[in-house]
A and B are shown apart, each in its own frame.
Chain A
Amino acid sequence: MAEIAYVPGVAIQTSQAQNPLRHSALVRCTHWIFAVSFFGLVLSGLAIILAHPHFYWGETGGIGTPSLFDLPFRTRQGGPSGWGRSLHFLSAWIAVLTGAVYAIYGILTQHFRREFIPAPAELSGRSLRTSLLDHLRFKRPLEGESYNVLQRLSYLTITFLIFPLIIVTGLAMSPVITAVVPQVVTVFGGHQSARTIHFFLADLLILFLIVHVAMVMMAGFSSRMRAMILGRATTRKETV
């Protein structure tokens, strides 16, 4: 340490190599803003469902027509679906705008290409099996390792398939949007089908969130949280 102390530039480099920046400031900001808006979306989505906890397929459905399935909630008229809708759309705006900033950043900085797209070799059956078995054995990843192939595939699916789909199925329920672009609802087989698919996609995202948090806890909760809040997995050594 003594000789490094005389050469501050080298000291900084050494300290950063041992403790690299895991998440850029933009990723950290968008992650937490998105997390809060996602919580708002789930909470308000539930409030909206309470007004009519029945799901249908096709264009129409209501009391007196056969449902696809019913949730075991007591119907609550008025109230929750009012603030529920307001919170849902406000959260949706924040989530979509934050997501757009993140997506543009991810494309411009090649974040998606470097962190999300797996190397071709990783997609072999053997590599996928090894990664799956590691997960099933709850094997902790090595510190400083980049995302494994299953992580990359799930982040890709969530970011580029599930999120776009849940936005489109949400828009499919807007009578102004369907007046302009009817395909946005006909492609799903009708208004009620879009609503039902929207509900299942939300369930998938909640499932993803549960696994995501479980994985963070397993991999080391405090270091992962520190990395997502401050950028680095361990506190920076005060070498200079």
Chain B
Amino acid sequence: MNQRVSRRRLITNGLAAAAGASGLAYAARLATRYGLIPPDSGGIWGVGETLTYATQRILMSRHSLAREFNRSEISKVIPVSGDPPRREAYERLLAGGFANWRLTVDGMVARPAAFSLEELKRLPSRSQITHQACEEGWSFIAEWTGVPLSYLLSVVGVSPQAKFVVFFPFDDSWDSLDLPDAFHPQTLLAYGVNGEDLPTPYGAPLRLRVARQLGYKSVKYLSRITVTDNLKNIGSGRGSASPDSGYSWFAGI
């Protein structure tokens, strides 16, 4: 009797364990396929990053818009963080008023291209007054004007296999977005703030604006955009320069 019970228990426990393990493996495969695993999912912090990223992507609508504000709510002061790139290439373009600056768009696209600032300004534009918080805690409201990234991506034709859009500035603070954020209507390549051209410390001539993530995702001083299906070979392979200095790739929280 005793033996029979223990054998039965052994079998049910074994089956439960096998089901649990294969369930976990299946969940991990599904999560990867549906883009629920962030590129910095490794290590102890990766557990929290993955939970946050997957939950936000599952529960939240990919098209929900960040809050927009009235002109009267625009902040009088926009704090600046970081200095413009001290790179010869950047300083030469800055001195020339960015007349020779081009934004290169390449990678997994049908029609790689390079755009001048004037060409970008002739494309359909969008202005939005949004709230921007820095991960340090401070925040401000400003009006940003630029080309929706989704429009530019449709011009160059993104491959169906692509998974990420990578942004390279003139300094080392490169970053990347998954496609839901890259194609989000409020994601801009901004050349204007509060009705004027982007001042140098704010990222001239062109910066990224990601309305639903913290400030450090909005890469300044853009030089090149690459579309890819794999971030492993870029930098330390964690999707952005941020994880190298302790910050997470996904900054929606």
Q: Which residues of A contact B (CB under 8 A)?
A: 48-49, 51-52, 54, 59-65, 77-79, 81-83, 85-87, 89-90, 92-93, 173-180, 182, 185, 191-192, 195
Contact bitstring B13-47, A, C-beta under 8 A = 1, else 0: 00000000000000000000000000000001101
State how many angstroms separate the Cβ of A143 from the closest Cβ of chain B.
40
Question: Which of these, B56, B73, B138, B245, contacts A61 with CB under 8 Å?
Answer: B138
The 3 nearest A-B residue pairs measured at CB: A82-B246, A62-B138, A90-B48
Q: Contacts A93-B52, A191-B139 hold; do A175 and B245 have CB atoms under 8 A apart? A: no
Q: B130 — nearest CB in chain A belongs to which residue?
A: A175
Question: Which residues of A sit under 8 angstroms from B69, Cβ to Cβ?
Answer: 59
Contact bitstring B41-85, A, C-beta under 8 A = 1, else 0: 000110111011000100111001111010001011101000000
A52 with B137: CB separation less than 8 A:
yes
Cα separation A140 to B45 with both chains bound (whole Å): 43
Cα separation A192 to B140 with both chains bound (whole Å): 10
B133 with A191: CB separation less than 8 A:
yes
B208 at the interface (CB under 8 A from A): no
Q: Contacts A93-B52, A173-B133, A180-B61 hold; do A61 and B139 have CB atoms under 8 A apart? A: yes
B245 with A82: CB separation less than 8 A:
yes
Q: Contacts A52-B136, A59-B139, A63-B79 hold; do A178 and B48 have CB atoms under 8 A apart? A: no
Question: Which of these, A48, A77, A179, contacts B212 with CB under 8 Å?
Answer: A179
Q: B63 — nearest CB in chain A belongs to which residue?
A: A179
A59 with B73: CB separation less than 8 A:
yes
Q: Contacts A61-B138, A176-B253 hold; do A93 and B48 have CB atoms under 8 A apart? A: yes
A180 with B60: CB separation less than 8 A:
yes
A175 with B79: CB separation less than 8 A:
no
Q: Contacts A90-B45, A93-B51 hold; do A77 and B64 have CB atoms under 8 A apart? A: no
State how many angstroms separate the Cβ of B244 from the closest Cβ of chain A.
10
B135 at the interface (CB under 8 A from A): yes
B115 at the interface (CB under 8 A from A): no
B79 with A60: CB separation less than 8 A:
no
Cα separation A177 to B140 with both chains bound (whole Å): 18
Q: Contacts A60-B139, A82-B245, A86-B248 hold; do A179 and B67 have CB atoms under 8 A apart? A: yes
Contact bitstring B185-205, A, C-beta under 8 A = 1, else 0: 000000000000000000000
B141 at the interface (CB under 8 A from A): yes
Task: Show 6 A/B contacts (Cβ-Cβ < 8 Å), sorted by A.
Answer: A49-B137, A52-B137, A61-B139, A62-B140, A89-B51, A179-B66
Question: Which of these, B138, B140, B247, B253, contacts A82 with CB under 8 Å?
Answer: B247
B211 at the interface (CB under 8 A from A): yes
